[in-house]
Amino acid sequence: MTVAEEAEKYGLHRVGARPTLVNYLKQTWQRREFIYELAKARVQRENQRNRLGVIWIVLKPTFNALMYGFIFGVLQGGNKAPDYPVFVIIGVFLFEFFSTSMTGGAKSITGNNALVQSLSFPRLSLPVAQITQNVLTLMPMVGVMFIYAMILGTTPKWSWLAIIPIIGIFTVFNLGIALICARITVHIRDFTQLLPLISRVLFYTSGVLFSADRLLSQWPWMIAIFDIHPVYQTLQLARGMVMNTAVYDPWAWWVISAWAVAMLLVGLIYFWKAEERYGRAN
């Protein structure tokens, strides 16, 4: 009998060995309090760094909405969506959640080398903590988003509550993206240099500032692409639930749900496969 077989007989496992996926998820769940406290501490730390604290959480997307909304509103002319200011605010605020999840998730392992190399815990906890941090940051942003909508003339209605499941589905999707980016960054550190460019390209091409049905009406094949675009459909669905003038296709619920489940499964398996590599010094 080999040493490995003897160890297996008595339930001994190699240090840092990758557990089964089910056990991996169980171990991560057991550390849910650690994940939440880590996320909360990071939010508090970020707020303490700035003199205006939590106000900067909403100031940044507000300034982006004002700047890009004005520029693209002028460029689009009559092709811009009805109730355009609210349209842009919803797009910018929710896209900020996606963008920070992608870029923050990418750095969740490489940015915590000391923690990863000194303690034994499922590394999945770190991307999950990043997404939890982003959800905590999103909460006041959504509240301010609704306030802006009312100031701009949007009538409060019960459908506003649908933003809760929309954000829930979007969070699952963003977690899958964060897991994929986290592992890529471990293998290719320069990937973080490309992420700002990727984020900016997605910002301009995901319907944050335009309605595909109005702007691309002469290219039906492009509209068909946006019909299955996960970020675009999430924004459109949120607008349909919040705005007075916006409409949405109920099919969007199935689109974003399918994308969320697919990205989470792909991201989870892809990230878990490299679990043994995350604790190694580079």
Separation in Å, CA 158 to CA 74, 214, 250 = 32, 27, 17
**Model pTM above 0.85:** yes
pLDDT, residue 73, reads 60
pLDDT, residue 4, reads 46
How many CA atoms, within 13 angstroms, populate the side-chain half-sphere of residue 94? 31
Distance between CA atoms of residues 57 and 44, nearest Å = 12
Distance between CA atoms of residues 253 and 236, nearest Å = 10
Q: Report whether 126 contacts 31 (CB < 8 A).
A: no
Distance between CA atoms of residues 260 and 12, nearest Å = 37
pLDDT, residue 155, reads 87
Would you kindly state where each structural domain of the chain is located, as residue ranges? 26-277
Average pLDDT over the chain, rounded to an integer = 83
Based on its alpha-carbon atoms, the radius of gyration of the chain, rounded to whole angstroms, reads 21
Longest dimension (CA), the chain: 78
pLDDT, residue 6, reads 45
pLDDT, residue 134, reads 93
Which segments of the chain have a pLDDT < 50? 3-13, 15, 281
